[in-house]
Structure 1
Amino acid sequence: MKLLAAIGRNQYLSRGLHPYDPRPMPTPAPASSVPDDFCAIDFGTSNSAIAVPAAGGAGGAPGAMELVQLEGEALTMPTAVFYLAEGPDLPNLPRLYGRAAVASYVEGNEGRLMRSMKSVLGSSLMDQHTDIGAGRSVSFADVIASYLRHLLRSAEAHAGRELKRVVLGRPVYFVDGDPVRDAQAQAALQAAARAVGFTDIGFQYEPIAAAFHYEAGIDSEQHVLVADIGGGTSDFSLVRVGPARRERLDRRDDVLASHGVHIAGTDFDRRVELGAILPLLGFGAYGPERPGQPAREVPSKVYFDLATWHLINTVYRPQRVLELRGMKGDYADADQHRRLMKVLTDHLGHDLAGRAEQAKIAVAAGGEVAIDLGLVERGLQATLTEPQAAALLRDDLGRIVTAALETAAMAGLQPAQVDALYFTGGSTGLKGLTDALAAAFPTARPVYGERLASVATGLGLYARRLFGG
């Protein structure tokens, strides 16, 4: 442990080593003696999913795993908890999960939205309490346990039985370059799982889990670059897979390198909103010319906040609305200021962000997209063209491709030595992104997993091997 703690991150990667991993490796019991009381959880930064053993017959072959429908027919759920701060029963911490949590926040209900809880693991915040309104507070550890408990209840309702054993996904590094904090992060997630009732807990690296689908269909050892690109981060892992390795329970040595950047889908949406929609509300515009003074650019902070999901609600605060209303004279075009105030007073910020996201998706198919802004002003619309979108996203895509190439270099491989690119994560639906990555690794075979469920599916396969015999 002391030796590993003294080795830098790049040395771990180049030598095929990894930070201290405290997990015990459970010993699988014979298949005949093992009940199907296990599951697999992908506790993601943005979305989560859970897999359970499939029922026999009617599409559920013996030994198969299936994803649980968590919200209607959705197999994934936003990793979000909203603590209500108004209404009855406040001492019992009424809360909402997933899409309901996000919707309650967007609608402006009183309370506290908790997202990206996974990023707290391994930090000093885990044991601290955070205010959730109405004079109440909860620890981050309790927030995570509450969310895992909600996933477990959904899975048990689906399976019709108790689930006592679990495989949890984990990133190669919860905390970069700090083995002690990385071990603390896994221990904290393990403690949360025990708090909700799991008695036997295993872990698997998320990129290994994502690669299981590809590994099942190959007959030779290969190097696969797993590109997991979601809402907040673009993460890459160079993984060694093959038929001689697929039955091994301990796969940590098969993750040859791991790297990433904090750029992904929400950053793309922000670029599109700032570049195509918000100029109609005054972003980048100039005020009137005054004697002896050049025209000055309209203050831009409100526009950046409107384009940043978790800051949108801050622009609706009465004091800020009053301040912005008084800035009418700073606009040469009174229509731009009027549209801005319409968005603020009618709380349309999240709607605009959603329209930017949909435009980004639509233009990826090619051509030109009209963005209807009639909710702001009758007949108002913005236009997003494919060349315009490419220009808006060029810098972000360039940094993502650079991170992918750096991952291969950290593993000691040239791009031509990468056999396959495995795409997973919601943002890999953006064709311009996957095309740019494919161009950087021209000899690699592109493979498209389930964008939001590949990791959970792979964790389910691993849980079957570990617990199901």
Structure 2
Amino acid sequence: MFIGFDYGTANCSVAMMEQGEPRLLTLENDGIYIPSTLAAPTRESVAEYLFKFRDIKPLDSVGEQVLRRAIALNREECIDLEASDLAFGHSALDLYLQDPSETYYVKSPKSFLGASGLRDVQVSFFEDLVCAMMDNIKRNAETDAQACITDTVIGRPVNFHGRDSEAANQQAENILLKAAKRAGFKNIEFQFEPVAAGLEYEATLTENKTVLVVDIGGGTTDCSLIEMGPRWRGQSNRAQSLLAHSGQRVGGNDLDIALAFKQLMTPFGLGSKTTANIAMPHIQFWNPIAINSVDAQADFYSRSNLATLNQLKKEAQEPEKLARLLEVFHETLGYSIVRHAEEAKIALSEHPQYSVVMNLLSEQLEVDIHFEDMINAIESPKQKMAELVKEAVMQGRVQPDAIFMTGGSARSPILRSAVQETLPNIPVVSGNYFGSVTAGLARWAEVCFK
């Protein structure tokens, strides 16, 4: 049996073909989408969990090294791992929020794939993370489908990180490929996510069109200019229909982080000064919430930075604010702050004002955010997304007949307006914001494996 697999930055979903149409399968409770999150007692627990409870072994010597070290460290910490200690999706977030300081929590590991400077052991660790999530999803999907799943088409962005970084793209795709093999998939293909979304839109067309697909996901924005319609439907060779692609690692997560930085970090000391009237370094307020950067997270939560934060508190004009930043360090609150920003972003799409309430150990912080504040905060990532739209059209050297917007962040009226302003007088259409990519991947899997 084959499926389309959208291993997304914000959410994951899979779909099978049933009576000629894609059907998304249940992955968590009764939901067809599962957040791309994992929680465990320690970072090292992931490798041990795969080996001990899923009988999933490393594929190479580096993976074996990571596994041996993981087991040894867990023994040193007297952690006797149980199968139920690893949680995924909403359950992972619930576990993290219960005790952030005692839980290893990762959101959107896809954001880290293709990052420059990763050592072999880090690449192997991310492979374990992705494998554990894919294994969980595959088992749940098989329960719903009541069949063994062997083949899959996995969606991938045009560029995982920087533009035209083939080395980064190859590294990321290799991690996905190895993880999928270890999770039990036998035959694996890849397809660009915007192309997959376009295939789903194409199924609704009764005439041929040139369509610009704009997929604004959690981690990346990808654009594909595609000729589509009855002429192309079901063809295995679509090379001539794919006119242009553009993509960059800028997505919904970047909007959340930008909003968190501009609006939620002031109570933690952003904009404050030392007794010598020197501004507090911005990097100390960016790094804890830059949850899609390996380097930023490592720098902020390092032991050496703890000494720096304590020194900044001593020198601060408002030491109570730096005390809160120290709590962010000790309680690992960066993910929680970004989650508050995400909730504000969603609410501000429908309301002019939203109050964020953050519960710390000793106090409750309330920050009011207005719609105009959000517009200002996300201006930079919004402009990057608009440039990708321009780039795809310039590459293709043809104006599209329609713009098909998909991806969770494409719901934002601010981003839809930005795309419309970039290409005025071209109709903007939408389908299932969350499911178009998954459905299109299932359609392409049918072409590949049937």
Q: Which residue of 1 aligns with 2:142?
A: 156
Q: Structure 1 residues 87-96 or 165-174, which shifts more?
A: 87-96
Q: Structure 1 residues 106-115 or 214-223, which shifts more?
A: 106-115
CA gap of 1:319–1:370, structure 2 versus 1, over 3 A, is: same
Is the CA contact (8 Å cut-off) linking 1:429 and 1:451 kept in structure 2? yes
Shift, 1:194, TM fit: 4.4
CA gap of 1:171–1:253, structure 2 versus 1, over 3 A, is: farther
> SS where residue 243 of structure 1 aligns?
coil
Q: Which amino acid aligns with 1:337?
A: L
**2:376 is equivalent to residue 419 of structure 1:** no
CA gap of 1:114–1:90, structure 2 versus 1, over 3 A, is: farther
Q: Residue 365 of structure 1: which of 330, 350, 355 is its match?
A: 350
- TM-score, normalised to structure 2, is 0.77
- TM-score, normalised to structure 1, is 0.74
Q: Which residue of 1 aligns with 2:121?
A: 129
Q: Structure 1 residues 371-380 or 275-284, which shifts more?
A: 371-380
CA gap of 1:432–1:376, structure 2 versus 1, over 3 A, is: farther
Q: Which residue of 1 aligns with 2:102?
A: 109
> SS where residue 13 of structure 2 aligns?
strand
Shift, 1:161, TM fit: 1.9
Shift, 1:190, TM fit: 4.9
Shift, 1:237, TM fit: 1.2
Larger radius of gyration: 1
CA gap of 1:215–1:94, structure 2 versus 1, over 3 A, is: same
Aligned equivalents of 1:150, 1:39: Cα separation in 2: 15
Aligned equivalents of 2:173, 2:297: Cα separation in 1: 33
1:6-405 residue pairs with structure 2 within 5 A?
Answer: 37-54=1-18, 62-81=19-38, 83-84=44-45, 85=74, 95-101=86-92, 107-109=100-102, 113=106, 115-117=108-110, 120=113, 128-130=120-122, 138=124, 141=127, 143-172=129-158, 189-190=176-177, 192-288=179-275, 295-309=277-291, 315=300, 320-321=305-306, 323-345=308-330, 347-373=332-358, 375=360, 380-405=365-390
Aligned equivalents of 1:391, 1:369: Cα separation in 2: 15
Shift, 1:124, TM fit: 10
Q: Which residue of 2 aligns with 1:292?
A: none
> SS where residue 230 of structure 2 aligns?
coil
Is the CA contact (8 Å cut-off) linking 2:211 and 2:404 kept in structure 1? yes
Aligned equivalents of 1:281, 1:411: Cα separation in 2: 47
Is the CA contact (8 Å cut-off) linking 2:37 and 2:105 kept in structure 1? no
Unaligned stretches of 5+ residues in structure 2: 46-73
Q: Structure 1 residues 75-84 or 91-100, which shifts more?
A: 91-100
Structure 1 or 2: more helix by fraction: 2
Shift, 1:305, TM fit: 1.9
Q: Which amino acid aligns with 1:108?
A: S
Aligned equivalents of 1:312, 1:196: Cα separation in 2: 28
CA deviations on 1:168-220 (whole Å, 9 max, x unpaired) are 33445679657798678767755554444444444443222101232122222
Q: Which residue of 1 aligns with 2:427?
A: 445
> SS where residue 129 of structure 1 aligns?
helix
Identity %: 26
Q: Which amino acid aligns with 1:371?
A: V
Shift, 1:283, TM fit: 0.6
Q: Which amino acid aligns with 1:447?
A: V
Is the CA contact (8 Å cut-off) linking 2:92 and 2:105 kept in structure 1? no
Is the CA contact (8 Å cut-off) linking 2:401 and 2:426 kept in structure 1? yes
Q: Structure 1 residues 335-344 or 417-426, which shifts more?
A: 335-344
Q: Which amino acid aligns with 1:68?
A: L
Is the CA contact (8 Å cut-off) linking 2:34 and 2:90 kept in structure 1? yes
Q: Which residue of 2 aligns with 1:454?
A: 436
Shift, 1:80, TM fit: 4.6
> SS where residue 108 of structure 1 aligns?
helix
CA gap of 1:444–1:87, structure 2 versus 1, over 3 A, is: farther
Is the CA contact (8 Å cut-off) linking 1:274 and 1:307 kept in structure 2? yes
Is the CA contact (8 Å cut-off) linking 2:356 and 2:367 kept in structure 1? yes
CA deviations on 1:88-130 (whole Å, 9 max, x unpaired) are 555999744444455556623365848535864799979x434
